[in-house]
Chains A and B, each alone.
Chain A
Amino acid sequence: MQGFIQHLADALSLGSLFALTALGISLLFGIMRLVNFAHGDLITIGAYALIVPSSNPNAVMFIGLWPVLDTIIAICAIVVALAILCERLAFKPMRGANPSVLMIASFAVSYFLQNALIMIYGSRPKGVNLWPALAQSVSVGGVRLQLLQIVTIVTTLVLLCGLTLFLRRSAIGRQMRAASENFMMARFLGVRANLVIAAAFAISGFFAAVVSLLYVVQRGTITYDFGVPLVMAAFVATVIGGMGSVLGAVLGGFLVGFANVFFQVVLPMSLRGDRDAFVYGFVILVLLVRPAGLIKVKSVQERV
């Protein structure tokens, strides 16, 4: 029982990170058909912003030493600002381009950001010890769980509820939903494209910042491609969930998280290194059964 609940917590917390990342990608895809590869680098930059810029491999904490709330606010502000900056400089001029062009542009932005990080911080991994208190275990109903996992799962639940409320109740949220149903029609009806897209980038950046903080506590080490595994997992999560569906992205994220932990548990020791190969192979199997993903989105299908 202890073992099962431990695995469940592992799966839920990993799935949470994937789901939050996938949400950041899915929001932008729904509204402007952008598959944003650079989302992973926003996560990376959120982590690097914690330390003093230097190519010295021994990282010196900077924002990471501030009081917890200040750190969170500062990292969120930095990543959101960067997300909006990316939108203004790279994606806004390409608005209306087809999805392939947008995706390739985001690939270029990602390559740019990663190499800029190498330029500033060097390419060697850096140890970052943020909020060590989260590493301790706590006892919940007789089962010992890592505090970080509980924080991750609770944060994700709160953010998911918050996003749902925002999309359903707030004026901007409703406009975003309208825009992802039919962008052109939404504009005809008075939805302001700039506002909606900037809001989507801001929310996407906010999620990236949160993931960044949670993931850096978990990993303890950062590299210039820190966010890449997350963005890869989130990509396949959005495809499994159904491109453009926000709910699908969350489901897909958790599914990939569960698949990860499942293979980690069932694979024999000799094959454990190949876990990712099994996870992504499983993803391809799911897509063989449901090529359009779990939740089919009408506005993505073409009308004859």
Chain B
Amino acid sequence: MPGQSRLFSIGRYLWEPATLCAGLLILTIAADLSQNGVLIFVATNILIQMVMVIGLYVFIGNSGILAFGHITYAMIGAYADAWLTMSPFKKSFALNLPDFLANHSFAVFPSLLVAGLASGILALLTGLPLMRMGGIAISIGTFAVLVIFNTIYQNWGDWTFGSSTLVGIPLYVTEWVALAWVCAALVVATVYQKSRFGLALRSSREDEVAAHSVGIHVRRERIIGFALSGLFMGVGGILQAHFLGSIAVSAFWIPVTFILIAMLMVGGQRSLTGAVVGTLVLSIVMQALRQLEAGLQVASFNLQLPHGLSELGAALLMLVILLLRKNGLTNGREIPWPFPDEARMIEEGRAKALVRLAQPPQPLDRTSRLEAQDVSVQFGGLAAITKVTVSVARGEIFGLIGPNGAGKTTMVNVLTGFQAPTTGQVLLNGTDITRVTPRLRTQQGLARSFQAVRLFKDMTVLDNLEVAGIGTGLTRRAARDRAWDILAWMNFEDKALVRADTLPYGDERRVGLARVLATAPQFAFFDEPAAGMSDRECDDLMQLISDIPGRFGCGVLLIEHNMRVVMGVCQRIQVMDSGRTIAEGTAAEIQTNPAVIRAYLGSKSEKTYA
């Protein structure tokens, strides 16, 4: 029944936020029913912090990059919102705002949206320079952002009341308002993480180089995640301001940053469930320790622990989690969907793919040509390649072989843009692409596999292929269709929903090859696809590679040491040795070429020295 299946897929899509919201709703109701003012206060505070931790998760969880400056965006949001919502009378005591802001106050909800958006925009603007750097340098750069805005706000007395506490912010945030925003944050974070943007950002977390190689614009994806994350931090800061009624610049500093990050780490930085669980667990632990600091009556003893214990406890808990369970209490997993429907999904994917595969493939355009002319590459004084020319036509299978160290992989790096040649140029259909980045070359139709495979490990096989589709400009849905087509064509659809890091070695290499095809290349480069494969696996691989040009309309450049595979599938072979071309021709010509035999087996005179 199609109606039921649609309902099922929506249920599956929103399963995590729905269950998490339901759980939080029950806890909030319980707190409310207790009519205990302190408990309700604590619960509201936890929910507000949860909005911020979800904000942190959106960036840190999906990108795998730590950020220490996010509390800045909460500060930006809180102050912007205070400017909008405080009564003109109260503003006049502390602030010296322009007339328009000084004389008006605006409704809280639209103000929250405007101020939250301001945080998001600021995160976007600060993200632009930060994301130009590499991994850990970005983390350190976020500290610079923290210092910059903290300093400015401390000294911007007219707008922020300087280092004094700004009071008189209208109170409207109850536990229900906070819960509503947690739910909204959970839904938006889920939609984001399941969208093409979330998938693309996670692929860069798993393997940045591979993400580039399938066309993902890593910097752009990071900026998008960073901006969204900053927006939620802003909303959290705004809610906090309207809950406490006051804000101070000094509160948006390292201690709060630490607690928020600790919450995410305790729960598990790689899952939304982790953000929620971590906030709850760390808050409860710290609250319990605070009770002990205040003194606890046990029988006739008054058990009292020294002040500051809750902070020490938080730090220790986080260290222990990092040590024993790196991906937090949830181990980086979401709440599992309880209905086993993977078989049905695979069946559906296969059925639809087979319909599409039954269509005849596009007629092959053999006019395209990829050429490298007189390419030389030097590493310091060492010449890896000297004046090598390679030319591959679309539709042919071309082998590049040679002993270890001959310069084959370097040649592929030059062709795909991972290595700039010292001299010489690369032409695609006559256009010079020597200076074009790997990502743009992938989008122009050059895609490669890696010797080290470099799958996106913590993602399913299907997702690995979808990332490649997304990187080359498809929508999520079209990318998914293409991924199923390739898997069905390879008879590999049974493994579609398996996580890549659980695959056996041979399958891993097959997925690496499938991911190249999922970029819909004009030219596909396979770097030792048969390495480590058994004879039978090699037979399958040969069949597969032979069928690629006809099915996908592309040229194949193959680097391989297994001569049975090379001789079996390649129409034309070029042999390199010590960075130079020593022979070129068909399999039969190569096998009888004396220079080739010498390179592989050594000549008689060399043998006597060996």
Contacts and interface: CB of A to CB of B under 8 A. Distances in A.
Contacts of B323: 93-94
B412 to A, nearest CB: 9
Contacts of B208: 302
For chain A, what secondary structure do more than half of its interface residues adopt (helix, strand, loop), or is it mixed? helix
Nearest to B416: A304
Contacts of B136: 33, 35, 99-100, 103, 243
A273 B258 contact: no
A238 B140 contact: yes
B147 to A, nearest CB: 5
Interface stretch (A6-14, A63-71, A109-117): A109-117
A109 B135 CA distance: 22
Interface in A224-279: 225, 228, 232, 235-236, 238-239, 243, 273-277
Q: How large is the interface on A (under 10, 10 to 19, 20 to 34, 35 or more residues)?
A: 35 or more
B322 A280 contact: no
A28 interface: no
A232 B308 contact: no
B258 A111 contact: yes
* Residue among B147, B149, B314, B419 having the largest count of chain A Cβ atoms under 10 Å: B147
A268 to B, nearest CB: 13
Contacts of B413: 304
A107 B258 contact: yes
A108 interface: yes
Contacts of A104: 66, 261, 265, 318, 322
B445 interface: no
Contact of A119 (B66, B209, B255, B308): B308
A100 B65 contact: yes
B262 interface: yes
A113 to B, nearest CB: 9
Nearest to A243: B137
A62 B582 CA distance: 78
B137 A239 contact: yes
Contacts of B141: 236, 239, 284, 287
A208 interface: no
A162 interface: no
B92 interface: no
B450 interface: yes
A94 B318 CA distance: 13
Given A239-B140, A304-B450, A276 B147 contact: yes
A291 interface: yes
Contacts of B137: 239, 243, 287, 291, 293
Interface in B140-167: 140-141, 143-145, 147-149, 151-152, 154-155
B312 interface: yes
Contacts of A232: 143-144, 147
Contacts of B265: 104
Interface in B264-285: 265
Contacts, number: 132
Nearest to A25: B140
B319 A118 contact: no
Contacts of B106: none
Contacts of B132: 287-288, 291
A112 B316 contact: yes
B489 interface: no
B326 A101 contact: yes
A109 to B, nearest CB: 7
B326 A116 contact: no
Contacts of A281: 148
B311 A115 contact: yes
A112 B133 CA distance: 30
Nearest to A281: B148
Contacts of A239: 133, 137, 140-141
B56 to A, nearest CB: 12
Nearest to A225: B254
B129 A287 contact: yes
Interface string B153-197: 011000000000000000000000000000000000000000000
A94 B129 CA distance: 31
B64 interface: yes
Interface string A84-125: 000000100110010111011101110110011011000000
16 contacts: A99-B136, A108-B258, A108-B318, A108-B322, A111-B255, A111-B311, A111-B314, A112-B311, A112-B312, A115-B312, A235-B143, A277-B149, A287-B132, A288-B132, A291-B133, A291-B137
**Those 8 A-B pairs whose CB atoms lie nearest each other, nearest first:** A273-B155, A112-B315, A115-B311, A119-B308, A277-B151, A280-B144, A276-B151, A277-B148
Given A108-B322, A300-B134, 16 more contacts: A90-B319, A99-B135, A101-B322, A101-B326, A108-B318, A112-B316, A112-B319, A232-B147, A236-B143, A236-B144, A276-B148, A277-B147, A280-B147, A281-B148, A291-B133, A293-B137
Interface of A: 33, 35, 90, 93-94, 97, 99-101, 103-105, 107-109, 111-112, 115-116, 118-119, 225, 228, 232, 235-236, 238-239, 243, 273-277, 280-281, 283-284, 287-288, 291-293, 300, 302, 304
